[in-house]
Structure 1
Amino acid sequence: MLPRRPVLTETIDTFDSLYADGKATGTWLDVRKTINWQNNGPVTDVKSKDIRCYELSPGKPSETYNVTAGSTIGFNANPNIYHPGPLSFWLARVPDGQSFSSFDGDGNVWFKIWHEQPKFGQQLTWTSNGMKTPSVTLPKSLPNGQYLFRIEHIGLHVAQSVGGAQFYISCAQINVSGGGSGTPGPLVALPGAYSAQDPGILININWPIPTSYKNPGPAPWTG
């Protein structure tokens, strides 16, 4: 079997830095450098471990960003979110006894904290389209600890065939303080949470125009 190669696209969706406190924190400083950092190619195989963080060198950013539970944090998109499709944010807590240098997000450790629904009409429209600094508010009851903070945008413009959906992904390293005693979940594995035939992944958004949309993966945990 020939090695998998990224599908090249004409533009978009490299999330190369965190965006917090009104500014980007630095390119590939707190964010794990992704395989597509030079070519913008997406992940298209939901069974590949690339669907997790798409990282080039696991555990090797130089910094961890400190953030308070209940605050807003996001990513800087380079250049912006261009394709139609849903945005989502995820977290995975570093297990006790491990550190960022050894933790790559393997296992049933991931939970979603937000996902986007489209507006319906003569076409599907997505609020994230054109965004430069997509962000989310962390649940106030999120337990303290170190987390991989994951952003995912799914380009659905050619998703009418298996493997057509385009996943643009990054993971940042954050240290959460001021949190609570919530129990995040459901916990899922990446890969594992998605099937290539999920209705939110295998979908023709162009015709007939959908009147509903089911986000792939678990329901968000909001605390």
Structure 2
Amino acid sequence: MTRVAVFTSIAAFAAGAVGHATFQDLWLTRHYEGTCARLPTSNSPVTDVTSDDIRCNIHSAATSKCSVPAGVNVTIEMHQQPGDRSCTNEAIGGAHYGPVMVYLSSVTDASTADGSAPFFKIYEDTWAPASSTSQGSDDYWGTKDLNTNCGKLDVPIPADLAAGDYLLRAEAIALHTASSVGGAQFYVTCFQISVQGDGSVKPEGVVFPGAYKATDRGIEINIYQHLSEYVAPGPDVVSGGTTAVAGKAV
């Protein structure tokens, strides 16, 4: 994965629990001043899927929108603390295993959108078995790929996407305590972007809250057992989106 310049900058916030994390940056090949990330005010997760916080988390304001050509890769970046972006520490530690997903929401103005418009899924990196007998915690997960890649995953923006403003919603779901209702942890950040291109597609989407139920198979789950499959919450990835293979998203 080639990354030339940082696309948004990190804002300071209070340190939280070990293992917790937040998406902080979006990368592209051109440098932009300011920030298009609605940075969470802490690295603590959202745990209530019925809360409006599931849209874009509890966040500070972003000061700008970032320009993104349709068809290119953006790179989401996650770390436990804003002051440590090294590869020596896990991006999301504490055995926080689970899927990573990215959504887009077409909006009139990304700088003022409240996240209530429908979101469609353009990317997911979820789960793959390590062996025929392995337990889910030993298997490959999207969050493990984040750790392997120093907190970064490449996300292609669909080439046929209609030009305009969007909220890009990056989400990692930690399932290490998800065997009971309310145990899943949602780490979410929204980025304000403007897509350029000559495409015309605006896929249908789902609304948050509402897209997830606390009892969904991919949310209430015991990962400390042998898994034969993992069903990610939310809609399928749209046509032109990307379904990564966990353990190979490098």
TM-score by length of 2: 0.75
Moved over 6 A (4+): none
Cα distance in 2 for residues equivalent to 1:81 and 1:134: 13
Identity %: 38
Find 1:137's aligned residue among 139, 156, 161: 156
Describe how 1:63-142 pairs up with structure 2 within 5 A: 63-79=64-80, 80-82=91-93, 83-95=96-108, 99-107=109-117, 109-120=118-129, 121=131, 122-123=134-135, 124-129=139-144, 130=147, 131=149, 132-142=151-161
Cα distance in 1 for residues equivalent to 2:223 and 2:231: 12
The runs of 5 or more residues in structure 1 that have no matched partner are 1-7
Aligned-pair distance for 1:22? 8.1
Give yes or no for contact 1:19–1:133 (8 Å, CA) kept in 2: no
Cα distance in 2 for residues equivalent to 1:127 and 1:166: 14
Aligned-pair distance for 1:55? 3.4
Describe how 1:161-176 pairs up with structure 2 within 5 A: 161-176=180-195
The runs of 5 or more residues in structure 2 that have no matched partner are 1-15, 81-90, 241-250
Q: Which amino acid aligns with 1:44?
A: T
TM-score by length of 1: 0.84
Give the 3-state SS of the residue equivalent to 1:173 in structure 2. strand
Cα distance in 1 for residues equivalent to 2:207 and 2:44: 23
Aligned-pair distance for 1:137? 0.3
Find 2:21's aligned residue among 13, 20, 43: 13
Find 1:30's aligned residue among 33, 36, 39: 36
Q: Which amino acid aligns with 1:74?
A: T
Find 2:234's aligned residue among 211, 217, 222: 217
Aligned-pair distance for 1:116? 1.9
Give yes or no for contact 2:19–2:92 (8 Å, CA) kept in 1: no
1:5: which partner in 2? none
Cα distance in 1 for residues equivalent to 2:98 and 2:198: 31
Aligned-pair distance for 1:86? 0.3
How many residues matched?
Answer: 203
1:43: which partner in 2? 46
Provide closer, same or farther for how the CA distance between residues 49 and 203 of structure 1 changes in structure 2, counting only shifts above 3 A. same
